[in-house]
Amino acid sequence: MSDRSNTSQPGRIDVHAHAFPPEFMKALRKNPPRPLEIRSNWEWDESRFLREMDRWEVALQVLSLPHTYEYYEPRNCSFGVELCRVANSEYAEISARRPERFRFFAAVPLPDVEQAWRELKRSRSLAGFSGVALSTNIHERTLDDAAFAPFFDYANEIGLVIFLHPLQRWFPKQCSFSSAENRAGVSRGKEPIQTESLFRQTFLRYFRTNPRGHSGQRC
């Protein structure tokens, strides 16, 4: 067990830390939309996570799910709501137990905007909440889809931190690119280039309509 007592000690903050807690795994296995491909090192084992953190001098991890939308179909958003609630509640329990070592980015059940808003409101009151994690597309819909605007309006209102997770795959046919440079960035399939291209395409409009939004900094 780790002997670190607070995050003021020297160490890194890892904001890209995937973890699948046990109740989430149980819920996921009840109704998987496709064969599950889950890395064994993502399954939650607090002692193992802490050992690895200490090995790499990581003082704090912000836990999240990878590509939440992989685990439920758009027509079954009720299952997505369940998965997000279970994961966020477990992350909060972990964060409350070890607040000096763990926080979390909440999962939200987009593309159901109303349920995503409800789960975000609930999660904000939980121990360790640090923002939300979103993928660079949601069930083959880009983030500047007009249907998602109410969610981002609320994000702007509360000053929400959004961890944007790159999704390395070909973009859907619905996605149009305004320049050859953007298309080339996607076709090369490299995550930093892909993410930057999508960022330019998606968030320029978002920043115009949500003045509190900004891109943060590269680490």
Taking 70 as the threshold, does the pLDDT of residue 103 lie above it? yes
What are the φ/ψ torsions at residue 62 (nearest 5 degrees)? -105, 105
Taking 70 as the threshold, does the pLDDT of residue 23 lie above it? yes
Level-2 CATH architecture, domain 12-168: Alpha-Beta Barrel (3.20)
Exposed, middle or buried by CB within 10 Å (0-12, 13-18, 19+), for 30? exposed
Cβ burial 91-113 (10 Å sphere, 16+ → b, else e): bbbbbeebeebbbbbbbbbbbbb
Q: What are the extents of the domains in the chain? A: 12-168
In the prediction, which pLDDT does 171 show? Answer: 46
Find out whether 144 and 137 touch, Cβ atoms under 8 Å: no
Task: Say which range, 22-26, 49-53, 71-75, 90-94, has the weakest mean pLDDT.
Answer: 71-75
In the prediction, which pLDDT does 138 show? Answer: 81
Question: Which pTM does this prediction carry?
Answer: 0.78
Tokens matching residue 49: 């996570």
Task: Say which range, 158-167, 179-188, 194-203, has the weakest mean pLDDT.
Answer: 179-188
In the prediction, which pLDDT does 9 show? Answer: 56
Taking 90 as the threshold, does the pLDDT of residue 64 lie above it? yes
Taking 90 as the threshold, does the pLDDT of residue 195 lie above it? no
Predicted confidence (pLDDT) per residue in 122-167, tens digit: 999 999 999 999 987 787 777 878 898 899 989 989 999 998 877 6
Cis peptide before 211, with omega less than 30 degrees from 0?
no
Long-range Cβ pairs for the range 183-190 (8 Å, 24+): none
Residues 6+ apart with CB under 8 A from 166: 135, 136, 191, 192, 194, 195
